[in-house]
Amino acid sequence: MDKKIDFKDLTMGVCYYPEQWGQSFWESDLERMLDSGIRVIRIGEFAWNKFEPAEGEFTFEFFDEFMNVARKHGMKVIFGTPTATPPAWASENYPEILNATKDGILYRHGSRRHYNYNSPKYIELTKTIVEKLAQHYGHDDAVIGWQIDNELNCELDEFYSESDTVAFREFLKEKYITIDALNEAWGTVFWNQTYNDWNQVYVPRRTPNDSPNPHQVLDYIRFISHSLCRYAGIQSKILRRLISPKQFITTNGIFGNVDNHRLVKESLDFMTFDSYPDFAYALSADPKHSDDLNDRKWSRRLTEVRSLSSNFGVMEQQTGAIGWNTRMEAPMPKPGQITLWSMQSVAHGADYVGFFRWRTSVMGTEIYWHGILDYNNKDNRRLAEVRDISNKFGKISSITGAKYKASFAIVKEYDNIWDARYDVWHRRVEDESEKGWFNASQLAHIPMDYVYITEDATIDTLSKYPLLVYPHATILKKATADLLKAYVENGGTLLMGCRTGYKDESGKCVMRHMTGYAADICGVDLSEYTFVGPADDKVNVLWDDAVLEAAVFNDVLKPICDTVDVIGTYDSNYYKGQPGLTVNSIGKGKAYYFGGAFTGKTAEIFLKKLGIESPFAPFIDAPAESELAIREKEDEKYMFVLNFTDGKIDINLKQPMLDMFTGKQSYGEVELGAFETKVFML
């Protein structure tokens, strides 16, 4: 089921913190917002103490007064549950609610996200505050929705408190039943790690070289995700029970160590994202020499959001420089970049864009995380740009509900995302290929999706794509392999890369074909495998007239069935002339196995050789420096052209089409200025 946002119009909002400003600001702030085209505000997510200044003592006077002002002006509100920042009385009275470092040192009060998901006391306090808020504002006509917590797993996505160890043991008991089964799954005979009692099992702790049991770590990350989803679910169930069905439930941001698909399925109506492309230009970055497309790579993150909700919201869209007083430094967005980044979000399916924040904070850690207005509260260039964005949104509002159109998909599974984070051999190939496929998609103007294989995935989930690429299915379960094989048999084309199939679900290496269950799809085993070392020259695979760099790691392939053809061989190293690319014909489709990781150039060649062409070719010629996107609904098609450069670019429209910002027909040569976006109706 596609859990998507259901706004009637393309809508602008902003994050607002009435508790940080005197009441004398409220009226004028809301009036200026509305005058700028802002119709929605998010409030409350860091204001627990305003509702419960002492344990069990509840007051709504402050926010009731603010809500009266919001209703007076017709401003709509998204209410945040305030659990990302427990109040001082909770942190002081109940230290068991606090998260801890791997060494067991507690994170103390004074920042945010210092709690843990598994403390029974924190769950109790959470239930109480969420229930009180839902009872009080759950049928307020000004409230259109709820945000659970704030940026779950941001800052800290590992948890080492005593409460986490207790909950981890219960998680493992439910999964394995017996301690012997856990020992088998974790391979604890290695280095004499065998357990004979559940009380000997902990969340990972500090070890020499910080190298704990990898199978334990994989289960631990699954546990973190489970804990987060359960915690969000507790809040969601309370809200569902008490709020109006007209009010939606969401949360914001996509962070590490969480199964976001489970989170959305169990607890949300749709996902919202927090988009800060200016990180690409932070003082710690090197944008002039980077090979990851800088701010344009936020389109990869937006692709992740689309895999959760085809139409989504952006709860926090960057409007100013970012930074804390302790870390993160970046310049102000240049004129046009706020528009560019907002349109980048809309191009990928956002029907709501909420800016962060209205006015830059004059206090606290985020005094350098700038909003629309500066400390002096005067109109400025950024506010003028927001007003212009509102004008543009009005002209393209008919796009609301239209869906992003992709030409192929990259396959993902959470077990492999998590394994790649903590296994350096896996991470190295994964990082290369993730960047390579995104860059190829962007620069060749061949849009892609991410498709996640979850427990709900079916052949229909996959069959809408003519090409699926699973770069490194290191952990390959039989159920996944069976689904991919059925996709190929039904006529699909599947491309897999090196390091596929050699681990089982526990992360242990399999003792059958080196490609594991992928052998049943691709029809190959391995005769050799190795990193491309620092003393080696570049290794290529020769395929007809194409030269494919086989980056990072090389699998030397060995066909094991008659239906397999060797179509590419290595051109160097000690395995020169041996198979590096094969194709297996299964049913109506084909399964390819490539023995390396994918650079951008290699990925682009694969797209061309496998017949995946740019869908924009009939409409436009555009330089690689621009991003192109199409959103469709019914018979309507909207084409976005985004110039990510600080100079002018020229495009060529191959047929007449409506420029939705000017309301005029365009055809032939069109110039876009620095950071400019155009939207055409096809």
Task: Catalogue the active-site residues.
Answer: 151, 316
Token pair of 160 as six digits: 């080492």
Tokens of 323: 């930074």
Whole-angstrom Cα distance, residue 446 to residue 615? Answer: 7
Scanning 192-259, the segments in alpha helix (DSSP H) are: 214-242
Residue 199 CB coordination number (10 Å)? 9
Residue 219, token pair as written in the block: 């289960």
Nearest alpha-carbon partner for 470 in 529, 507, 420, 541:
420
**Closest alpha carbon to 143 in 20, 272, 42:** 42
Q: Which residues pair with 323 in a beta bridge?
A: 329
The two tokens of residue 41 are 């505000």
Query: Which residues, other chains included, contact 608 with Cβ-Cβ below 8 Å and sequence gap of 6+?
Result: none
Quote the strand ranges of 552-635, DSSP E: 553-559, 564-570, 579-586, 589-594, 597-598, 620-621, 626-633
Omega of the bond leading into 357 within 30 degrees of 0 (cis): yes
Selection from 240, 10, 479 nearest residue 250 by Cα: 240
Please answer whether residues 281 and 330 qualify as being in contact, where contact means their C-beta atoms are separated by less than 8 angstroms. yes
CA 263 – CA 254 distance, rounded (Å): 11
CB 384 within 8 A of CB 339: no
| Contact status, residue 275 vs residue 302, Cβ threshold 8 Å | yes
Q: How far apart are CA 530 and CA 500, in angstroms?
A: 13
Structure-token pair, residue 619: 């409409």
**b/e code 228-249 from CB counts within 10 Å (16+ = b):** bbbbbbbbbebbeebbeeebbb
Please identify which residue in the block is written with the tokens 């980077």.
290
The crossing angle, in degrees rounded to 10, of helices 61-73 and 26-35 is: 40
How many beta carbons lie within 10 A of that of residue 563, not counting itself? 12
If you search the block for the tokens 């870390």, which residue do you land on? 327
Is residue 586 helix, strand or coil?
strand
CA dihedral sign of residues 47, 48, 54, 60? positive
Per-residue H/E/C for 267-306: HCCCCEEEECHHHHHCCCCCCCCCCCCHHHHHHHHHHHHH
b (16+ CB within 10 A) / e for 157-193: bbbbbbbbbebbbebbeeebeebeebbebbbbeeeee
Half-sphere exposure of 336 (CA within 13 A, CB side): 14
Q: What distance in Å separates the CA atoms of residue 646 and residue 196, rounded to the nearest whole number?
A: 63
